[in-house]
Amino acid sequence: MSVNVYKRDRQVIIDPLVTCMPLGAMWAVLGINHGVPLVQGSQGCSTFARYHLARHFREPIEIAVSSFHESTAVFGGKKNLNISLKTLIQRQDPELIGVITTCSSEIIGDDVYGFVDSNKQELKELGYDNTEIIPINTPSFAGSHFAGYDNAIDALIKNLATPNENIECDNNINIIPGLLNPGDVNEIKHMLDSMFVPYTMLTDISETFDSPLNPKKQKTPYFGKGGTTVNDIKNISASKGTISIAKYAKTGAETLKQTHKVPAVTDNLPPIGIKGTDKFLKTVNKLSGYDIIDTLMTERGLTLDLMADVSARYLAGRKVVIFGDPTLVTGLTSLVIELGMEVVMVTTGSEEKTFPTDIESISKNQSIDVFSEGDLKVVEDYVKDKDNGVELILGSSEARFINYDTGIPLVRFGFPVYDRVGYHSQPIVGYRGAKRVVEMVTNEVLAKYYEEKHWKLQQ
């Protein structure tokens, strides 16, 4: 028994599971303290991404745009970028601007690197030299939002990490979280803090995408609370190692290994479920030298306790479909299998080369259908085919209609989740995140598959 890999059997995408590269890059840049993404393209390229992100995080999302119009497509975007940088620095005074290219600026052949370089000189003469300006290539036709995120992290490392013998190292490690929610990043920070490991999060969206309400202190221009500082990124060259949680976000870690000899761990399971979290903590321990402390083992035990309580009676053998970002799908597949459930089908919207083999290595003796470059139509057809006997779906809000039509419970996770609250601020990673997933999954199963009159079943 192993995985069966299928390709989508049509050309057209119906109900996409992925979005574009610029959105991933915006995500990364917004995790920097006083960082602003500047989109070198049409207004729609920033506005629709802002809308998408604002709906999911329920936060103001500040993304500037250089507003391409028809003449730009003909004469190029140099002038727009020049004005944009001046406007943005003058108005917002950011620590960092990520210049994010779009399909149109890439196709017309804008040399953003050249533009940025020539602008830097001019900005310096105007006295604006406090802002880091980082060009990030993100033509949407070359990949999904994961690839855009990866390019952005790599660009930040390439441009900012400086070799510095004098930095006091103190066993610092770098974490590239990937496109995780604030709740997940906070959980990773909680695990590291529990072990007293110093770390740099590349980048840290935990507070910028989940900011407190305090109207009296609200400033203009708006910057979300927190975020990784530019200075922290400059110092990452002296770290003991880099862990990339997501495989698709490993280029930066590899760059740092090549340029500054910082060891990189990029092929771990994500810290989702018991095995994934075990592996993550052991890696942290190995890189930093700090011990895994008892508090975390208590959390592990509490999660195992719940898993033992519910697995055999309610969950074992139930058939699950999972779709979403490759890292999350891989991690959740592992967790769901730990619970004794049967994963029958998984898909992710992009073409991640190692995705089928990753699923295979987790699948053990289960047979899993893996669709590469799938879309929601693939999921819908699979779930609606009664022969497949699907009993639970794990995926984003986009599957809500499948849920309404079939009555099969949908446990929401990943991006985007806009029709429920709390999903982005609570974790699915770590032992505590695993406990939460087990609770959510079991409650959905209880609500759907156990009737009230058989209340004893629920004990």
Partner 1 sequence: MEKQDCVEPIIDTFEERQSHMCIKGGGLSLPECDKPGIPGTVTQRTCVFGGARIVLMPITDSIHLVHGPIGCASCTWDIRGSKSSDSKLYKKGCSTDLKEKDIVFGGERKLYDSIIELHKLHNPGAIFVYATCVSGVIGDDINSVCKEAQNITGCRVIPVQSEGFQDHNKTKGHWIGCDALIDNVIGTSEPDQDSITPFDINIIGEFNVAGDLWGIKPLLEYLGLNIVSTVTGDSKIEDIAKSHRAKLNIVQCQKSSNYLAKKMKKKYGIPSIKVNFFGIESTITSITEIAEFFDDEEMKNRANNLIENGLKHLDNKLEEYRERLNGKTVALYVGGNKAWSLVRAFEELGMEVIMSGTKNGIKEDYENIKNIVKEGTLIVDDANSNELRKLLKKLKPDLLISGAKEKYIALKLGVGFCDFNHDRISAFAGFKGFLEFAKEVDGAVSTSVWNVVSTSIYDE
* Residues 71-100 interacting with partner 1 (rule: CB under 8 A): 72-73, 80-81, 83-88, 90-92
CB atoms within 10 A of CB 440: 18
Choice from 11, 166, 365, 459 touching partner 1 (CB under 8 A): 11
CB of 132 to partner 1, least distance (A): 16
102 makes contact with partner 1 (CB under 8 A): yes
Query: How many residues line the site for partner 1 (CB under 8 A)?
Result: 74
CB of 199 to partner 1, least distance (A): 29
The gap from C-alpha 454 to its chain's centroid, in whole angstroms, comes to: 41
Choice from 139, 324, 395, 409 touching partner 1 (CB under 8 A): 139
Q: How far apart are CA 359 and CA 334, in angstroms?
A: 8
Considering only the stretches 139-147, 247-255, 275-283, 331-339, report the one whose residues sit in contact with partner 1 under the rule CB under 8 A. 139-147
68 makes contact with partner 1 (CB under 8 A): yes
Q: Which of 315, 409, 323 is nearest to 374 (CA)?
A: 323
Q: Produce one character per residue of 384-401: b if its CB has 16 or more CB atoms within 10 Å, e if not.
A: eeeeeebbbbbbbbbbbe
Q: At what angle do helices 182-194 and 273-288 cross, to 10 degrees?
A: 50
Choice from 7, 51, 193, 447 touching partner 1 (CB under 8 A): 51
Q: Which of 1, 70, 59 is nearest to 26 (CA)?
A: 59
Partnered with residue 39 across adjacent β-strands are 65, 100
Query: Of the two residues 78 and 260, which places its CB atom closer to partner 1 in the complex?
Result: 78
Choice from 1, 70, 452, 459 touching partner 1 (CB under 8 A): 70
Residues 189 and 207 sit within 8 Å (Cβ to Cβ)? no
Considering only the stretches 135-143, 165-173, 184-192, 336-344, report the one whose residues sit in contact with partner 1 under the rule CB under 8 A. 135-143
Q: Which residues, including other chains, have CB under 8 Å from residue 450's CB and lie 6 or more apart?
A: 314, 457, 458
Query: Of the two residues 113 and 401, which places its CB atom closer to partner 1 in the complex?
Result: 401
CB of 447 to partner 1, least distance (A): 24
Choice from 3, 26, 29, 52 touching partner 1 (CB under 8 A): 52
Q: Which of 90, 145, 132 is nearest to 352 (CA)?
A: 145
Residue ranges in 272-331 that form contacts with partner 1 under rule CB under 8 A:
none
Query: Of the two residues 215 and 422, which places its CB atom closer to partner 1 in the complex?
Result: 215
Q: Produce one character per residue of 43-78: b if its CB has 16 or more CB atoms within 10 Å, e if not.
A: eebbeebbebbeebbebebbbbbbbbeeebeeebbb
Q: How far apart are CA 391 and CA 331, in angstroms?
A: 19
Choice from 30, 49, 195, 383 touching partner 1 (CB under 8 A): 49
421 makes contact with partner 1 (CB under 8 A): no
141 makes contact with partner 1 (CB under 8 A): yes
CB of 306 to partner 1, least distance (A): 34
Considering only the stretches 112-120, 140-148, 167-175, 245-253, report the one whose residues sit in contact with partner 1 under the rule CB under 8 A. 140-148
Choice from 29, 30, 33, 62 touching partner 1 (CB under 8 A): 62
Query: Of the two residues 104 and 237, which places its CB atom closer to partner 1 in the complex?
Result: 104
Q: How far apart are CA 21 and CA 319, in angstroms?
A: 33
12 makes contact with partner 1 (CB under 8 A): yes
Q: How far apart are CA 98 and CA 29, in angstroms?
A: 6
66 makes contact with partner 1 (CB under 8 A): yes
Q: How far apart are CA 103 and CA 196, in angstroms?
A: 43
Residue ranges in 143-182 that form contacts with partner 1 under rule CB under 8 A:
144-145
225 makes contact with partner 1 (CB under 8 A): no
Q: Which residues, including other chains, have CB under 8 Å from residue 228's CB and lie 6 or more apart?
A: 31, 32, 33, 200, 201, 202, 203, 204
Partnered with residue 175 across adjacent β-strands are 201, 243
Residue ranges in 381-410 that form contacts with partner 1 under rule CB under 8 A:
401
Q: Is the dihedral of CA 297, 299, 301, 304 positive or negative?
A: negative
Mask for 333-372, x = binds partner 1 (CB under 8 A): ----------------x-----------------------
CB of 76 to partner 1, least distance (A): 12
CB atoms within 10 A of CB 334: 25
Cα atoms found within 13 Å of the Cα of residue 212, Cβ hemisphere only: 5
Considering only the stretches 61-69, 117-125, 201-209, 247-255, report the one whose residues sit in contact with partner 1 under the rule CB under 8 A. 61-69
By DSSP bridging, strand 410-412 and strand 3-7 are unpaired
CB of 358 to partner 1, least distance (A): 23
CB of 38 to partner 1, least distance (A): 7
